[in-house]
Homo-oligomer: A and B are copies of this chain.
């Protein structure tokens, strides 16, 4: 068994952008990287979200939504030639006062290893750097424990009632 394989800073920056960061990997043979800059293949991204169990969306609209998002984070399984997208999350918001996290996904094959938690920690760090204190998200009932376990409050708590509108 070899020790955890780490990329050099140069290699990390070249493939994943200056702001990339290695993600703790559950398997010493696998290197995982968070990137805000590596472009997404929209078909690969939509396939990831479909594999997680969500419904397919028109790619044209997904592209525009990504363009208008405050943050987009890919979790990549490193390969020198073909990094594979195994996780994703994005945020919308005004970049100052508030942000909302959307589309948090870890590929089913990579779930159960704490990667979703690492992804959320990474996102919240980025938002903290932007001095954004008010972060919200919407999630399916199946993942309530996941978020509550990480310090998120389930609404309503009596003073921040949350509403949903089907326009």
Interface on A for B, CB 8 Å cutoff?
57, 61-62, 64-66, 68-70, 90, 92-98, 100, 102, 124, 127-128, 131-141, 144, 147, 151-167
Contact = CB atoms under 8 A, between A and B. Distances in A.
Q: Is the interface of A mostly helix, strand, loop or mixed?
A: mixed
8 contacts: A68-B70, A68-B96, A92-B92, A98-B100, A124-B165, A136-B163, A136-B164, A139-B163
Contact of A163 (B96, B137, B161, B164): B137
A36 to B, nearest CB: 16
Nearest to A163: B152
Given A95-B68, A97-B61, A155-B155, A138 B167 contact: no
